[in-house]
Structure 1
Amino acid sequence: MTAQDSATRPTGITVTAKAEAAPAGGHDGSARGGLLLAGLGVVAFSLTFPSTVWGLESFGPWSLVCLRSVLAALVAGGFLLALRVPLPERRHWGSLAVVAGGVVVGFPLLTTLALRSSSTSHAAVVVGLLPLTTAVFAAVRTGRRPSRTFWLAALAGAAVVIGFTVAESGGRPQGPDLYLFAALLVCAAGYTEGGRLALRMPGWQVIGWALVLCLPLAAAGSVLALAHEPVRWTAQGVTGLVWVALVSTFFGLYVWYRGMAAIGIPRASQLQLAQPLLTLVWSVALLGEDLAPAAPLAAVGVLVCIAVTQRARA
């Protein structure tokens, strides 16, 4: 190895590391656009739980999850074919598999199973830890070390959520809470890998290829699920399916990953602080749920703790 090689190798490594952690666009216009796109994603996601409850009026949990993936994959695959998008590089398929397992299969399935017996307001507060969980995954994945303030706030937020779920479940976590906590982990992994991939390809292609990757499994699952779960056609049930398929799964993740690429994973995570409160509003307005007295306080407590972690990271 020559002296020139020795001098240039560290520079190349530094550039790669910065590309992993930094947003793609740094100017004000790009930042504003990224904030708007990520914000649209949060609004789309905030309606996912109420839409899932609507979808469960017509479909069983397995049918709903598989059908939403099939519909979203057909739309994404149509765009990919129409625009003649080439296959991703082989080195990206592992990350796409994480995205698929986390946000296409894992999170929808686990939250749908939880919502069979959990209210949307309760689920929204538990999933309020998702921004924090995503920030932790991003910190580990990019090699950044959170400060002591970050960890103190993280523990405080976890204590608020665990305390709320234990109190609401009569002294110990129940099955739905276990589903929701597992959903946090797989979704955070999918968000982090998707955010990293969005630095290398458009955000809609990230979720598009992840959906196409799941299409054979989702199609087979739909056939099996529909054969064993009854279908009761209602307007709200179909509306719920269409929303979670086309808006939550495809459009929401498209603008979310594109926003993450523009402003960075930690900053985009801050916008999700509003998601639990928005879902609480939708659960009352669309589903007529009665909020538990502790739910709004718990949601606000979680948001405050996550806000502190984001400031500490910055």
Structure 2
Amino acid sequence: MSSLVSSKHNLPMENTGEILLYRTEGDRTEIQVTLQDETVWLSQAQMAELFQKSVPTINEHIKNIYDEDELDEKSTIRKSRIVQAEKKRKVTRTIELYNLDVIISVGYRVKSHRGTQFRIWATQRLKEYLVKGFVMDDRRLAGGATNYFDELIERVRRIRTSECNFYEKVRDIFATSIDYDPKTDYARQFYATVQNKFHYAIHGRTAAELIAERVDSTKPFMGMTSWSGKIITRKDAEIAKNYLEELELKRLELLVEQFLSFAELRTIEKKPMYMTDWLKKLDAFLILNEKEILTHAGKVSHTEMEAKVRDELEKYNEQTQRKQIEGPK
């Protein structure tokens, strides 16, 4: 999901419209636009948030758009006032807002994953227009178009009431991020970071550190407290949650349930969230619960953890086979 006007930046004192650029559950890029006088007006800061680029980069693109006479500057800019806090007092400032023509032009120039999502969406609509001579919004015409946040609220509620385990629920919640795309390396790294933050809050270790410390071929069930089938597999042995003691697991479940409630509240209040926003809110949430915050990658890498699991599992299986051959003493 993704909102621009409802960003964390200072907002204009007037209604300027809104743009939401987001991924659907069916992995489609969609745009929801709320118009004001048949257009949308965004500041450079809001465009920077929409396309996940810096304000100077957006400013450079806008300058080039006008220098190349792609758009007329006078007809695409208007002044607006904002109220912002400066030195503990509120100050009114005048800023420039840019209309939908500028936003679209910037979207075709900016180099970012968000820019790519926008161009995919826009190109699909342009192709439909060139082939058919028109573009139709089937959902809106069918009367089935719903507000993005209404859909998101329903999605979050389905996640919370699902039969998935608690960590799968957390994963699904974060997948509702405006800029989420499962194909990117950032999304995969993001999940590992989130998992590690929850683990560190409970027992002071990353997932890899916990596994490397507790996996032990000499202990019953290799030091694990749970696994999926009758036989311990390497996949089971590489899941940190499977090494948690009962109290640790209960604390983790309670912490996650609190965070899921917070996530649902954000959607009800129509607060759009990027992946970076979720990480910041997760840290703030953990601080509120008086938990330690993970700020490093840990002392044990994922590769090192996997190597130790392989070694311990091999020794454990050898010991188990030997005992079966020898029989009861």
TM > 0.5? no
Higher strand residue share: 2
| Structure with more relative contact order (C-alpha pairs < 8 Å, separation 6 or more) | 1
Normalising by the residue count of structure 2, what TM-score does the alignment of the two structures yield? 0.26
Normalising by the residue count of structure 1, what TM-score does the alignment of the two structures yield? 0.27
Higher helix residue share: 1
